[in-house]
């Protein structure tokens, strides 16, 4: 049996995809306030930087940079997922359970890619910002409200009409996309 090994680099920058079990769910976009609170709680306990992010109905992509002396992104994801799940459960949202009775909101794992250089960062950030168009949710990336593209535009890093034409290619861990 092959054992998957994560690339643990203290201070590293990583691209992640985290997905709900039910790909038809819209829980992430419907409860984006609770997801933001989950990220805030995780960042408050164990700092990290969100370099780029998009939250879609059933999955999210994020580029995260860890502190120089820390490589534990798995612990951060565990905290984000459990906090979001707990907040949904407390709010009365229906969450399915597995055969052991545990909440089964998220897929157990997440997909991660170590950012290698500036070109790789740009390619992944572009993919993140274009993802709502790729999934047919909006015609232009700026039209999706749950994206760091808005922060990039405010900072003058990208124009508001970025991604209005063309296509961003690449497979970043999404099944069947």
What is the tens place of the pLDDT at every residue in 95-149? 777 777 677 789 988 999 999 999 999 999 999 999 999 999 999 999 999 999 9
Task: Classify each residue of 21-44 as buried b or exposed e, where b means 16 or more C-beta atoms within 10 Å of its C-beta.
Answer: eeeebebbbebeebbeebbebbbe
pLDDT of 16-39, one tens digit each?
999 999 888 999 999 999 999 999
pLDDT of 42-68, one tens digit each?
999 999 999 999 999 999 999 999 999
Query: What is the pLDDT of the chain when averaged over all its residues?
Result: 89
pLDDT of 58-107, one tens digit each?
999 999 999 999 999 999 999 999 999 999 988 877 777 777 767 778 99
**DSSP tag of 147:** B
């Amino acid at each position: 049996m092959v054992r998957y090994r994560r690339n643990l680099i203290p201070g590293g920058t990583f691209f992640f995809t985290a997905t709900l079990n039910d790909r038809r769910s819209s829980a992430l976009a419907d409860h984006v306030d609770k997801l933001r609170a989950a990220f805030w709680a995780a960042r408050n306990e164990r700092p990290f930087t969100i370099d780029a992010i998009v939250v879609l109905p059933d999955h999210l992509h994020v580029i995260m940079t860890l502190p120089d002396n820390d490589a534990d992104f798995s612990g951060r994801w565990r905290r984000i997922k459990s906090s979001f799940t707990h907040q949904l459960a407390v709010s009365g949202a229906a969450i399915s359970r597995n055969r052991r009775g545990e909440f089964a909101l998220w897929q157990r794992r997440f997909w991660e890619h170590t950012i290698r250089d500036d070109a790789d960062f740009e390619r992944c950030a572009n993919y993140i910002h274009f993802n709502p168009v790729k999934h047919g949710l909006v015609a232009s990336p700026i039209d999706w409200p749950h994206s760091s593209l808005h922060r990039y535009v405010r900072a003058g890093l990208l124009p508001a009409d970025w991604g209005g034409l063309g296509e961003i290619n690449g497979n970043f861990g999404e099944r069947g996309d």
